[in-house]
């Protein structure tokens, strides 16, 4: 299935910086396509404890869940699209 989106911003990666960029773009009424190979905050989910993180998140899993929630809310507004790249032959 081929899909196309008209977006003001292409955001590659849905870690903390990528989600922050996508949310900021949405707050400026820009549309954003977020491309992530795995799940939102995938690497964060393996972190057991966090310190000095704005928002008071204490585990990587909790922060990753909050990031996913932020993207979902902005996607409901129609300002963001989450895209997972299609795997092609020979790639893991």
**Domain-located, residue 77:** yes
Number of domains in the chain: 1
- Domain span at 57: 9-83
23-81 tens-digit pLDDT: 899 889 898 889 888 888 888 888 888 887 878 888 999 999 999 998 888 888 887 87
Positive or negative, the CA dihedral 25, 19, 67, 6 is: positive
CB 49 within 8 A of CB 70: no
CATH number at residue 14: 3.50.50.60
Q: Residue 36 corresponds to which tokens in the numbers above?
A: 């992530």
Answer yes or no: is pLDDT of 5 > 90.
no
Integer Cα distance of 16 and 68 in angstroms: 10
**Domain-located, residue 15:** yes
- DSSP, collapsed to helix, strand or coil, labels residue 82 as strand
């Amino acid at each position: 299935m081929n899909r196309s989106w008209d977006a003001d911003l292409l955001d590659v990666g849905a870690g903390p910086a990528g989600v922050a960029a996508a949310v900021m773009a949405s707050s400026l009424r820009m549309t954003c396509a977020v491309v992530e190979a795995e799940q939102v905050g995938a690497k964060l989910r393996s972190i057991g404890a966090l310190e000095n993180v704005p928002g008071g998140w204490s585990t990587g899993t909790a922060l990753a869940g909050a990031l996913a929630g932020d993207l979902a809310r902005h996607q409901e507004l129609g300002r963001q699209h989450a895209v997972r790249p299609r795997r092609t032959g020979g790639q893991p």
